[in-house]
Amino acid sequence: MPKSAPEKLRRFYDQFEGQDQVLIIINADPDAIASAMAVSRLLWRRVLSVTISNVNTINRPDNLAMLRLLKVAMVPFSAINSVQYKKFVIVDSQPDHNEAMAKLTADVIIDHHPDSKPKAPFVDIRPHYGATATILTEYLRAARIKPSVNLATALFQAIKIDTNGFKSQTVIEDVRAFQYLFRFANMHLARRIEKADLRLSFLKYFKTALNRMLVRKGRVYVHLGPVINPDICVIIADFFMRIISVNWSIVSGTCDKKLVVIFRNDGIRKNAGKVAQNSFGQFGSAGGHRTMARAEAALSDLPGHIDHQDDKKFLRWMINRVERRAGEK
């Protein structure tokens, strides 16, 4: 029988003591940032200190805008001495999602991605939820904590983004949390964060995508080749889903000796997570939700006959894997 929000909050608080120095580890995106802010607020005056640390490099303009406008302090994981911390919290992710996270012994894991059955004294994973921010909003309400304007704006924006404006995976709890946060959030700040998603240097990738895209039966395939940041693949994939005749957008690129493939679809009898897993899971990490998913693999782990420097051949190989291994899902 599912535990109530107050009971989950009590068990969450049971993991901490007053002299604990707590490290919150995230793969920084709006949902992870907002959820970490919420955990920090929940632990305010209950522990000795709380530090938020990002395992990824933050380059996306909207993420940078969120940190700057909402005054979020974060320390890169590469600068962290984990020996200094007694308790470790992972939000909006799970240990097997990242090598750095896997090396730590997590005390608390709170997430909304597919459950990989991680081990920790406290685990709250709800794959049916649209955002981890929704779960943390329930914790705040159970604790009777009124969120500050900045915290409410972060959580509000996180739910909006991760549910794709309630067009992607969404449950009634997401809607309720969104409505609650609306009362406290600053809409001006939210709009500024939302609109800060492009840099001038990104525009060349749109030109590359338009020149190289291949359209088949409502599916757009693009291989961008080398990119300065994998998030460019996300931006391009989301861009193509705005075209009325497109029901799938699959965009790949290479960065830091890795292949990154981003999947997007309209959610009608489709499952992006399964397609990602079936197509590229044997080479690295792959998975996600029905409408959005991601696959990553070291270039050295790809088949030897694949020339990732030949963008045209690489695109054909990618299309072949998606269409033959995953079928017409």
Domain locations along the chain: 5-195, 201-325
Local confidence pLDDT in tens for the 329 residues of the chain: 357 899 999 999 999 999 999 999 999 999 999 999 999 999 999 999 999 999 998 888 888 899 999 999 999 999 999 999 999 999 999 998 888 898 899 999 999 998 889 999 999 999 999 999 999 999 999 999 999 999 999 999 999 988 878 877 789 999 999 999 999 999 999 988 887 767 778 889 999 999 999 998 899 999 999 998 888 999 999 999 989 899 999 999 999 899 999 999 987 888 898 999 999 989 998 888 888 899 999 998 988 777 777 888 889 998 988 887 655 44
**Residue 103, class by beta-carbon neighbours within 10 Å (0-12 exposed, 13-18 middle, 19+ buried)?**
exposed
> Which DSSP category does 9 fall into?
H
Q: How far apart are CA 240 and CA 91, in angstroms?
A: 30
Query: Sign of dihedral through CA atoms 211, 261, 253, 61?
Result: positive
**What is 5-195's CATH number?**
3.90.1640.10
The alpha carbons of the chain give a radius of gyration, in whole angstroms, of: 20
CATH class of 201-325: alpha beta
Torsion of the alpha carbons at 149, 131, 92 and 221, rounded to the nearest 10: -120
